[in-house]
Amino acid sequence: MHGSADDPLIARVADALRQPVPLAPGFDARVMAAVRRSPPSLPLRAWTWLREPRVVAVSPLGVLAMAAGMAGLLVVGAVSREPGAGSREPRAGSQELTTVAAAASVTFVLVAPQARSVALAGDFNDWDAARALMRREASGLWTVDVPLTPGRYRYVFVVDGRRFVADPAAPRAVGDDFGTPTSVVTIGGGGTHAAGGSL
Amino acid sequence: MNAKPLMLALLLGALVLPRAARAQTQRLTGRLPEHTRAEVAALVDSARGAGLPADPLVNKALEGASKGADGARIVAAVRALAGGLARARAILGAGATEPELVAGAAALRAGAPPAFVERLRREYPREPLVVPLAVMADLVARGVPADTAAQSVLALVRVGVREAELVAFRHSVERDIALGAPAGAAAAIRVNAAERDLGATVLLPGSLPPRPRKP
């Protein structure tokens, strides 16, 4: 069917459509209530939950626990950075120390047939000889394995509990601050280092 | 969280965190006389406040204690090391690792020209420099003149030697010296030998660094 705005029938229909539709009282309120009842999407709910300010009650004990946890994380971090923390690597021969990757088990060797005891003191064990007593092997060979991370370490052998002996086969530290020669061992990321000698 | 627990947590954190940081100085307890321990702890705290590593300083104090040094000598040694670490950091940069600072301080103390350390870092900003610096210090300790040692190490690093090869170079020089060779000549001869072994031309300082060799 074809027609135009000048058609009387079309004009009457258009007038009727232009009249406002009477709505029942409370229609708007019912629609809005229905909208509010419909559940929002999950992301919208999550975003709303995250943005909404709320009060969290924490007991003093809980606060202490949180503080202790933070301190624990710091301590764990500090310990993991200490020289010696790490996995062991295969040891090398009596004269050669092999250092591999992050932490390597370094074998320190001293030939001292006359010694009754030999210990190792250095930057890696708080210079406490009691923490690295060396084992006596055949022919007066004394050895001990120490895990070391890359770095440069100063050390001495402590013979018979009182005599400080520098490693005859290792470089000497520059400057003996305390009047006794000190040796150094350097651990690289993947180098081979020698240490150990005889008295 | 409301304000009160938050403030309490921050307060406790402020109390706990420095305690954790001071754990290193607690290693001194029982190892040093109290007045020496206090002086060393103050030096360590000051160094830490300046961003320097605390462990090497504590280790130095413990070395002195282990060797029976008197308090004044221990404090002087710790103070000197703190100064050395600060100089090393000034040259190697704030991003230098603790092992690099320790090796750098040792190299500078041995007499390495600061320009050598600076150049090493500038040319190899992302390479670990512990071994080159340590080898340099070790060579000087064996009697190689500091300038010769520095130039030898720099030349070898520039041709891309690996850490193990650098250590092997040091071994060779030490062996030659033990056999009676003059220290400086031993280093020069071994640098030339490394040139032959590596099939590369060892460049004199001042030349551009070549591309590092692949492992």
ipTM of model: 0.79
pLDDT at A199 over 50: no
Q: What percent of chain B shows pLDDT beyond 90?
A: 60
User: Which residues does A187 contact at the CB level (< 8 Å), separation at least 6?
Assistant: A99, A104, A106, A148, A149, A150, A151, A152, A153, A193, B130
| Three-class DSSP category at A197 | strand
The tokens for B85 are 């670490």
Q: Work out the angle between the directed axes of helices B71-92 and B34-49 (0-180°, nearest 10).
A: 10
Distance from CA of B80 to the nearest CA of A (A): 10
Task: Please give the helix or strand (H or E) that residue A9 lies within, else none.
Answer: helix A8-18
CA distances from A74 to A81, B36, B42 (A): 11, 28, 22
Verdict on whether the full-model pTM lies above 0.90: no
CA distances from B148 to A166, B166, B205, B208 (A): 26, 15, 11, 19
Tens digit of each residue's pLDDT (9 = 90 or more) over B149-172 = 999 999 999 888 888 889 889 989
Chain B neighbors of A189, CB-CB under 8 A: 128, 163
Encoded amino acid at B128, one letter: P
The tokens for A97 are 């120390």
Quote the CA–CA distance of B59 and A174 in Å, as a whole number.
16
Chain A neighbors of B98, CB-CB under 8 A: 151
Strands A104-111 and A197-198 come out as parallel
Per-residue DSSP letter, A162:
T
The mean per-residue pLDDT over the stretch A61-87 comes to 56
Closest Cα partner for B68 from A20, A162, A115, A98?
A162
Query: pLDDT grade, residue B3 (50/70/90)?
Result: low
* pLDDT value for B10: 62
Closest Cα partner for B112 from B77, B81, B88?
B88
Quote the CA–CA distance of A49 and A60 in Å, as a whole number.
26
Chain B neighbors of A150, CB-CB under 8 A: 99, 128, 130
Lowest mean pLDDT across A58-67, B118-127, B152-161: A58-67
| B67 contacts A192? CB cut-off 8 A | no
CA distances from B129 to A152, A187, A193 (A): 11, 11, 16
* pLDDT value for B9: 62
Query: pLDDT grade, residue A176 (50/70/90)?
Result: confident
Lowest mean pLDDT across A79-93, B3-17, B71-85, B165-179: A79-93
Quote the CA–CA distance of A162 and A180 in Å, as a whole number.
12
| Three-class DSSP category at A50 | helix
Quote the CA–CA distance of B161 and B141 in Å, as a whole number.
22
| A178 contacts B77? CB cut-off 8 A | yes
Task: Please give the helix or strand (H or E) that residue A110 lies within, else none.
Answer: strand A104-111
